[in-house]
Structure 1
Amino acid sequence: MNILKKWSVAVFVLVMLFSIQHQVADAVDYRTVKVVSGSSLLVRESPNEASNSIGNLSKDEFVIEFSSSNGWSHIQAGDVKGYVSSSFLSVPSSTIKIANSKSGLVVKAKPSPSASTLATLKYNMIVEDYGSVGNGWSYVQYGNVVGYVKSDFIGQTKTTTKYVNTSSGVIVRNIASQSGASVGSLSNGTQVTVHATLVGWSYVTAGNIKGYVVAKFLSTKKPIVPFNNINFSLTIRDVEKNEKSNFIQKLQDGRNTYLVYETTKYGYSAILTYTFIGGQLEYISYDFLPEQNSYDTWDQMTTIHTRLQVGGIAEFGDDYEFSYEKYRNLFTSWERNSYMALISVHDDYLYTSAKLTYYRK
């Protein structure tokens, strides 16, 4: 590849191994437990103030939030299902507990032995305990199973310290299954607290992230981690000291600093650019067609995008978003805990561009 003649940085923002009995919602349809923070809260049929009221919730009452948008949350509380103002909901405190009933942890729809059973969780499964609701019952969550269990049948966990030991990092899921919803990711070498391990899955906590990871990707010894350039806490000095690609130039434009390298990515030559704004790393981009002198047909653009997408899937997995505008552009994006990655192929300016861009969230 020739040394960079023209360069630019463009960021395009796009946006059960265990048996569970009875009625359990799909794990990827992620649900969140919230609590009413106002003195009372009206539940409406639709997400607007003019909609009919179908219920009233009391302060400190638990609700299940399915989604939130434009200041409204779609929720369920008991038998009432509707919309409430999101500003009157908050995230309750919780404790990580373990199912200690060898016959299984029965989750009820209401705090009563005669209530319908939502699920029976295996011995040693981890639940989020949101606290006692009286009469020996606790309100808990496992994935999308949210209900009431006997408080005596959950207990404290015995924790150990381990480290993520796989170069691609791990995806953290809300249940112990590949079908679980992703709640974040942890990079290679991250220290985690393991609360339980069962049938190949470990429940871990690391900072604000908690959930299940594949147990074989954890080790008791911290691995030697090579330089990870997809790390938005890096300083300019960190990159200059540790980046092993062929250095081209360092450019300064007001508060912006650009470190430019020649490298390879996914087996293709590329120009790698780190963009710092006010000393903070904001973008990392790989430009696969930096000369800006070629124009491709739609079929050729699709081929380029597919080749890069294969590399992206190998790096990030198949939990991606794909969109396109025919004859103009194609996008594939992945969302991670601290950044997003975007593959984009464009033909907007009478030449084809093909880039992989990471940007800080």
Structure 2
Amino acid sequence: MNILKKWFVAVFVLVMLFNIQHQVADAADYRTVKVVSGSSLLVRESPNDTANAIGNLVKDEFVIEFSSSNGWSHIQAGDVKGYVTSSFLSVPPSKIKIAKSKSGLVVKSKPSPSAPTLATLKYNMIVEDYGSVGNGWSFVQYGNVVGYVKSDFIGQAKTTTKYVNTGSGVIVRNIASQSGASVGSLSNGTQVTVHATLVGWSYVTAGDIKGYVVDAFLSTKKPVVPFNNINFNLTIRDVEKNEKSKLIQKLQDGRETYLIYETTKYGYSAELTYIFIGGQLEYISYDFLPEQDSYHTWDQMSTLHDRLHRQGIAEFGTDYQFTYTKYSSLHTNWEKNSYTALITVNDDNLYTSARLTYYRK
């Protein structure tokens, strides 16, 4: 038991370090529409109260927020680009609308036909409509395209109900492309409302999550969903009743309970371990080399990690953080809504270990 405890403490420290460094590249350029909630708001050259004022925004004026940090937001409003106090911005209400102009929905930088064109969106594309700004214009967003369109050229979408039908779930993106920023994920069997389908992508809503998913991963009939063991609300009894793998051992050590199974994962034989502390599930671990001591070379370690890494991308998506220490360890880390997933290949005192661990957030 002491070996297990030491191993989980070591990996937990690694995860904490990864969390400090973690950045999701897809979200780096993501833009958020905000509205001025105060009576007026100064725009400054830099995020500092003493910086020069370069503009003044009024209540209910829309802005594009590029990023926020330490109480300041980097924004653009019209031709003015600078920094404002974040607390004076709020998220405006919006409605999901569909582009109904068959010649394309033209997005302008200002509510005027003579303003520069930012993009022309295809017929049946979905936009977030933040409301009318007068004179027949509406302020909308599609991914990172934020601007003004003629209100008559957008309308209500006819919706249908479908279900996520893929074992690993789906990534939801802000545009209909694999290059879009990830805005969330939906698990297998989740019911979604489909607002439109275009070139293999469907715009869906499910609770607070909304965006584009690959349409091939949806079906009209709810799939039979197998036991989802990556669920940190499971009790010890839930696992014992529903886990189909062969139970090897159940161990109790004070407040800690270990359920250890023989299984397969990513095409490898593995030991699957559930760790409960005080009856609450905290860790789920797959040990891919449970009985193998070896002098693995760095090339062999890298090859093993690469195989596991590719399987991890298929399960969790491309929003990962990769780090390594040559001749010693390789790690890939994913941050999901309710858990952290970590693939590790380590060499410690001539013993090579390879694990996938899920951690409760």
Aligned length: 348
**What amino acid sits opposite 2:228 in the alignment?**
N
Between structures 1 and 2, the one with greater helix share: 2
> 1:118–1:347: structure 2 CA closer, same or farther, 3 Å change rule?
same
Contact 2:27 2:182 in 1 (8 A): no
**Corresponding residue number in structure 2 for 1:230:** 230
Contact 2:96 2:127 in 1 (8 A): yes
**Corresponding residue number in structure 1 for 2:360:** 360
**Corresponding residue number in structure 1 for 2:316:** 316
**Corresponding residue number in structure 1 for 2:22:** none
Return 216-225 or 272-281, whichever deviates more: 272-281
> What are the within-5 Å matches in structure 2 for residues 181-192 of structure 1?
181-192=181-192
Contact 1:229 1:243 in 2 (8 A): yes
Tell whether 2:85 aligns with 1:88: no
CA distance in 1, matches of 2:299, 2:47: 43
Task: Give 1:130 shift.
Answer: 1.0
**What amino acid sits opposite 1:114 in the alignment?**
S
Task: Give 1:35 shift.
Answer: 1.8
Q: TM-score, normalised by structure 2?
A: 0.86
Aligned-CA RMSD value: 2.6
> 1:176–1:310: structure 2 CA closer, same or farther, 3 Å change rule?
closer
Tell whether 2:8 aligns with 1:7: no
In the alignment, structure 1 segments of 5+ residues that lack a partner are 16-25
Contact 2:171 2:317 in 1 (8 A): no
CA distance in 1, matches of 2:170, 2:28: 17
**Corresponding residue number in structure 2 for 1:111:** 111
> What are the within-5 Å matches in structure 2 for residues 111-150 of structure 1?
111-150=111-150
- Deviation string 1:205-227 (CA, Å, 9 cap, x unpaired) is 01111111111221111011111
CA distance in 1, matches of 2:27, 2:237: 43
**What amino acid sits opposite 2:180 in the alignment?**
G
CA distance in 2, matches of 1:350, 1:73: 50
CA distance in 2, matches of 1:82, 1:292: 58
Task: Give 1:145 shift.
Answer: 0.6
CA distance in 2, matches of 1:331, 1:185: 22
Task: Give 1:331 shift.
Answer: 1.4
In the alignment, structure 2 segments of 5+ residues that lack a partner are 20-25
Report the 3-state secondary structure (helix = DSSP H, G, I; strand = E; otherwise coil) of the residue aligned with 2:202: strand
Contact 2:138 2:150 in 1 (8 A): yes
Report the 3-state secondary structure (helix = DSSP H, G, I; strand = E; otherwise coil) of the residue aligned with 1:7: helix
> 1:251–1:41: structure 2 CA closer, same or farther, 3 Å change rule?
farther
**What amino acid sits opposite 2:163 in the alignment?**
Y
Report the 3-state secondary structure (helix = DSSP H, G, I; strand = E; otherwise coil) of the residue aligned with 1:221: coil
Contact 1:7 1:290 in 2 (8 A): no
**Seq. identity, %:** 83
CA distance in 2, matches of 1:292, 1:37: 61
Q: TM-score, normalised by structure 1?
A: 0.86
CA distance in 2, matches of 1:74, 1:349: 49
Task: Give 1:78 shift.
Answer: 1.3
Contact 2:229 2:243 in 1 (8 A): yes
Higher relative contact order (CA 8 A, sep 6+): 1
**Corresponding residue number in structure 2 for 1:22:** none
CA distance in 2, matches of 1:46, 1:251: 57
CA distance in 2, matches of 1:279, 1:156: 48
> 1:311–1:53: structure 2 CA closer, same or farther, 3 Å change rule?
same
